[in-house]
Amino acid sequence: MPDVGVRFRRGVRYVHRRVREWATVWNCLRSTDRPLMAHIIPIRRCNLACTYCNEYDDFSPPVPLEVMLRRIDRLADLGSQTVAMSGGEPLLHPQVDDIVRHIRRRGMMAGMITNGFLLTAERIQRLNQAGLEHLQISIDNVKPDDVSKKSLKTLDKKLELLSEHALFHVNINSVVGGGIHHPEDALVVGKRAVQLGFTSTVGIIHDSDGQLRPLSPAERDVYLETKKLGRGSYGVFNEFQDDIAYGREHHWRCRAGARYLYVCEDGLVHYCSQQRGYPAKPLEEYTVEDIRREFLTEKSCAPRCTVACVHYVSYVDFWRAPQTISAAAAEPSDLVQIR
């Protein structure tokens, strides 16, 4: 249980964060020429090896700090509103606090997706001081198994530390699908998140190609129950996952490459983590013209996409700018699905 001082500072940060969040949405409503979110990879290495994940290795060094700061500067120059670090495991980067601090210094919101294993009270305090605003942890099961070690049993003490010390927003994402052995665990994880004062979302794990895999009837039941815990969080905007759960294609305007940028450890801009290979253009060469082109480009992979962050970011423009550049014109054969 956090003390009075932590609760007060958390409340002040909450108000400040909400004002900034609405400002980012307003800025993006005013102009379609700026990214709403960029995911940037400070290190590809991870300390875990979840069998469904295709976004890590066990050997890559961290991107040098000076390189990361230049990339942050370029994202700011493009008008990016939020920068979230993922990986790999971003907490393996020895200077991750400096990266967070620089994101905030450049006026952007700072987020992180982590497996949570490296969190300590001291590390959480450092993230507070650096100005982190959002942190997400996905928990896959109640007890670790051969699919994933990201279990409630192994992470619950870390969650308690976050509940006690974190001044930033914490979201716990539980999952179904993707070979998870006990889908009912998602509901247990979601309830524990709410109990600790966090927001709760539920995700459907993609297949090895990052694409739709329908849920079984039992998995759908768990998904629908767990989804109810997400009221009051951005996770309520997930009609696309309802389609995924029933094996239906979802027809939407994917704004990857425009509103959403995925910047890999090599500094290349891709559509997302599951479509690395196009446009694969160096961030330092990425321009407003690239943003405008991709904003209007129909993505051939979109109807069966499960990448939630791209869906969420694209919601802001669902009502405008029909995509007039065909997927064929955008050379979809260049897309490389990472397995």
166: domain CATH number is: 3.40.50
Rounded (10°) CA dihedral 105, 37, 232, 128:
-30
pLDDT value, residue 189: 94
**Beta bridge mates, 45:** 57
Which one is predicted more confidently, 54 or 233? 54
Task: Confirm whether 259 is domain-assigned.
Answer: yes
Task: Confirm whether 24 is domain-assigned.
Answer: no
Compute CA 46 distance to the chain's CA centroid, rounded to the nearest angstrom: 16
**58 and 73 housed in the same domain:** yes
**122 and 101 housed in the same domain:** no
Phi, psi of 256 (to 5 degrees): -60, 145
**138 and 73 housed in the same domain:** no
Task: Confirm whether 81 is domain-assigned.
Answer: yes
**47 and 118 housed in the same domain:** no
- Per the structure, the count of domains in the chain is 2
Q: How far apart are CA 336 and CA 283, in angstroms?
A: 18
Q: How far apart are CA 313 and CA 244, in angstroms?
A: 18
pLDDT value, residue 231: 61
**280-295 pLDDT, tens digit each:** 999 999 999 999 999 9
Residue 39 pLDDT > 60: yes
Range in 68-77, 79-88, 199-208 with the lowest mean pLDDT: 199-208
In order of 118, 149, 150, 201, 296, the CA distances from 153 in angstroms are 15, 9, 9, 19, 45
Which one is predicted more confidently, 53 or 75? 75
B/e letters for 308-330, b = 16+ CB within 10 Å, e = fewer, are bbbbbbbbbbeeeeebeeebeeb
For range 20-44, the mean pLDDT: 95
Residue 209 pLDDT > 60: no
Structural domain harbouring 128: 114-205+213-248
pTM of the model: 0.91
Rounded (10°) CA dihedral 167, 17, 40, 189:
60
pLDDT value, residue 284: 97
**138 and 100 housed in the same domain:** no
Task: Confirm whether 154 is domain-assigned.
Answer: yes
**88 and 119 housed in the same domain:** no
**236 and 265 housed in the same domain:** no
Q: How far apart are CA 136 and CA 309, in angstroms?
A: 12
**162 and 279 housed in the same domain:** no
